Structure 1
Amino acid sequence: MKKRKNTITDLNLNFNTGYDATAILETGLLSDIVRPKRILVRVLALAIIIAAMTVVLELRWDNMNYYWYQPLTNTYSIAIAGFILSRFVLSLCYRPPKDVGLLPTVSIIITAFNEEDAIYRTVECCYAIDYPAHKFKVIVVDDGSTDATLVEVSRAQVRWPELILDAFEKNKGKREAMAAGARLAKGEILVYVDSDSFLRRDSVSKIVQGFADPRVAAVAGHTEVANVTKNSLTRMQQARYYVAFRVIKAAESVFGTVSCCPGCFSAYRRTCVMEVLDTWLNQHFLGVQATFGDDRSLTNYLLRKYQVIYSSDAVATTIVPEEHRKFLKQQLRWKKSWFRETLIAATFMWKKPPLATVAFYAQLLFPIVAPILILRICVWLPYANGDLLSPVIYLVGTVLIGMMFSAYYLFWKSDRYWIYGLYFTLYYLLFLVWQMPYAIATQRDNKWGTR
């Protein structure tokens, strides 16, 4: 199948990515011809989930039977398994916002910094949406780019003269760019899109339906990986993205407590954003101005008073890191903002529905405790007690949970990337989990981290 440099409009996929259409077919948009195969794949996925869950529950039952031999370790094992299983159960209760025909005015805001390779395609996808032309405007805020980003935006303005551009003379940070876009916007809904992300044609019409509920201040869209075929790292991120949205965010959305609207693609009620804009823009933590974690921080400000939900029908793709060095830096930055914003949210999340509250505080505790428990199970117990069984049981349980996530992906997407969910589980255990102590220790270091 022939590749295209810009958008894909054929095959009735209605999906603008700027990438090979074959990759889109491989990520689960299957035709009627392969439906029998998909049924068999789903049966296999269910079998894997049931088998893995059965063994995990058996291991956790052993934790209860021998609880007092290692109470700290057993408490952690039981709690983390219960939390993960609860996410799966709650995600089954999730339903995307109903299409009630809502068509508010929309301002699509693209914040860009040195994105010469992708910005034109991003703008092109924004103008290709199936939304009434008089109902939306596109705004690009350039955050002092030093490459050819402005040249590409100017080229886009030739094709779409109505495109609004606000160019900073020097780099101020994404938060300043987002705020500038909000002030320029006139639409009832602000749709933020990263400059390396691509909207599906129906994404805006889908995401705005969530605002039919006046209690909702923000809606997180669903994001997948545009450059999924690049290498094993991008495939791993595809599996992780899908599960993170369709399980974690879906479970949070049941209670209207989605903790982070991603910068890739999210929508906000403009009046709600303007209520907190100045406070958010000037946020400080530990005496230092917050310069990263902008999307999670904005979500946090809105969660105090409003609901934040997730729309699985509103889909975009985004370019993810293709090199381990860049990926690890991104993950460290995300952990630093996660720790800061989760601590802040802990001051008000107790006001939310009980199940959401318990899940939130559990989610706060687990990543912080995990490195300590892993060292104890895998290093201290074998060294001090000659206990070689506990590390084996822990690793087996971790692999099985990874298989559950992978099988969940396989059930819904039915593509060959499902096994990379297990790859992510092992990658997290070997590398990412150890970033948390460093992220906590360097909270006052507000450097961007990826540039």
Structure 2
Amino acid sequence: MSTTDCFLPLSDLSGQSIQHPTNPESARVRRTFIRIIALTMIILCMAIVMGIRWNNFTDYWYQPIVNAYSIAVALFIFSRFVLSVFYKPPKSADISPTVSIVITAYNEEEAIYRTVECCYAIDYPADKFEVIVVDDGSTDGTLREVRLAQERWPQLTLVAFERNRGKREAMAAGARAATGEILVYVDSDSFIRRDGIKKIVQGFVDPTVAAVAGHTEVANVAKNGLTRMQQARYYVAFRVMKAAESIFGTVTCCPGCFSAYRRECVMEVLDRWLNQRFLGVRATFGDDRSLTNMLLRKYRIIYSSDAVATTIVPERHRKFLKQQLRWKKSWFRETLIAATFMWKKPPIAAVAFYAQFLFPIVAPILILRMCVWLPIVNDDFISPIVYLFGTVMIGMMFSAYYLFWKSDRNWIYGLYFTLYYMIFLIWQMPYAIATQRNNGWGTR
């Protein structure tokens, strides 16, 4: 694979982009037409959802808890879309601090070489960045691939563990070995775009910013329906949810795929983060969210939509569901911890945070009541239909938002993911809460 492959747009990598006319004017007209359709869909879906939610107001006292929940969820989702409109990525301040790119790897022999290749091909002064690979006791050919990379780039630093010690230990080892002002963590199956480092460091011109979350999309999007759903989900999660959080400097999770940290801030919390315990057991997952959380107490965390990387996501449902369960466990733990200080943040950000904490916990109970209890006990089959229709409309809003910004055929998978979440993923939350003390990764 050539170095230039690292920087191909996702649509080129996936082969799924809608083919535009070669004539620039025709392409512009087509793009405008697609955006008009997408905007019309967003407005129509919003109107329908608001119409449904109006019944929650007029019939509020018949089911006050359910109606309050429905109203709050709709307001929360709409607020994210509205706030994301006002989001702007960090402006270029033409700064180029020294950077240490840390890649933590465990059994990634198929992707690690390309990850290193992309890091060395970035558009950044060669004397201002270094690349460090921490091999976390891999049992496959990962170490061999890294040594091959060292033959091509002798300056590549390798830290190799004799046995698997966990991602957190690997990240900490990388931080200690680093010499740069900025730590950039990249997963071993993620690929930075050529201008990614230059873009992500611009956020650090603000001395109150301790970390910047990069924008991540799916490298293997064309594999199957599951990867396409994740592409749509990733895009909305970053460009809507993280964008809304970034306005207040309260991004709650810098993803391991591609994120940057001010090294001196990381070193302040390194030992405490490395030895974190929860419910009497050592925390061994949710490392990125945990590190973000510790820095968020004192500093601002923002998002840079211009700093782009792609990542390889699970292609099989079993692996994907295990990943999602692990993420939910860390989400619950870290959100519970963050709840002790988020009230100090700007009011809008704080209210949104606590609402977002409550919704996934309450949702399984209310869905059971709506879709099981009401039809069986009250012979009410209308409420479940209305609820499901409203869910479909929200999913279509996500899909239309994706279509507005990215004219590829994956847009409809935003709706599919919404339904997938309601049918499968939402039921993981009670189990994730009940098994907090089980800190196994589930994928190793």
Normalising by structure 1, what TM-score?
Answer: 0.96
Which residue of structure 1 lines up, in the alignment, with residue 404 of structure 2? Answer: 411
Cα distance in 2 for residues equivalent to 1:351 and 1:73: 29
Partner Cα distance (1:29, 1:70) in 2: 50
Paired position in structure 2 for 1:281: 274
Q: Which among 419, 428, 438 is matched to residue 435 of structure 1?
A: 428
Give the CA deviation at 1:35.
2.2
> In structure 2, what is the equivalent of residue 243 of structure 1?
236
| Selected match of 2:94 from 95, 101, 119 | 101
User: Alignment partner for residue 12 of structure 2, among 2, 15, 21?
Assistant: 21
Q: What RMSD over aligned residues (CA atoms) do the two structures have, in Å? A: 1.5
Task: Determine the C-alpha separation between the residues in 1 that align with 2:439 and 2:119.
Answer: 32
Q: 1:196 matched to which residue of 2?
A: 189
CA shift, 1:34, in A, is: 2.1
- Number of the residue aligned with 1:208: 201
Task: Check whether the contact 1:16–1:199 (CA below 8 A) recurs between aligned residues.
Answer: no
List alignment gaps of at least 5 residues for structure 2.
none
Which residue does the alignment assign to 1:8?
4
Deviation track 1:273-321 (CA, whole Å, cap 9, x = no partner) reads 0000000000000000000000000000000000000000000000000
Equivalent-residue separation in structure 2 for 1:384 and 1:20 (angstroms): 49
Find out whether 1:308 has 2:301 as its counterpart. Answer: yes
Aligned-pair identity in percent equals: 75
Does structure 1 retain, via aligned residues, the 8 Å contact 2:134–2:160?
yes
**Runs of 4+ residues over 4 Å off in structure 1:** 27-31
Displacement of 1:174 after TM fit? Answer: 0.1
Query: 1:258, 1:338 → 2: CA distance?
Result: 13
Shift of 1:28: 9.9
SS at match of 1:229: coil
Q: Residue 149 in 1 paired to residue 145 in 2?
A: no
Q: Residues of 2 paired with 1:441 and 1:51: CA distance?
A: 40
> Matches of 1:27 and 1:342 in 2, distance apart?
39
1:26 counterpart letter in structure 2? S
TM-score by length of 2: 0.97
Structure-2 residue corresponding to 1:41: 34
Change beyond 3 A, Cα 1:284–1:256 = same
Q: How far is 1:421 from its partner?
A: 0.2
Structure 2 counterpart of 1:188, which letter?
A: E
Q: Deviations over 1:92-135 (max 9, x none)?
A: 11000000101000000000000000000000000000000000
The one of 44, 49, 67 equivalent to 1:74 is 67
Alignment of 1:52-71 (within 5 A): 52-71=45-64
Distance 1:6 1:387 in 2: 60
C-alpha deviation, 1:36, in angstroms: 1.5
CA distance in structure 2 between the partners assigned to 1:437 and 1:274 by the alignment:
35
Contact 2:21 2:27 in 1 (8 A): yes
The superposition leaves residues 214-264 of structure 1 with CA deviations (integer Å, 9 ceiling, x where unpaired) of 000000000000000000000000000000000000000000000000000
Task: Note if contact 1:111-1:194 (Cα within 8 Å) is conserved in structure 2.
Answer: yes
1:376 aligns with 2:372: no
Matched, 1:398 2:394: no
Contact 1:410 1:418 in 2 (8 A): yes
Aligned residues: 442
CA distance in 2, matches of 1:433, 1:92: 28
**5+ residue gaps in structure 1?**
none
By how many angstroms is 1:449 displaced? 1.3
The offset of 1:383, in angstroms, is 1.1
The aligned amino acid for 2:190 is: S
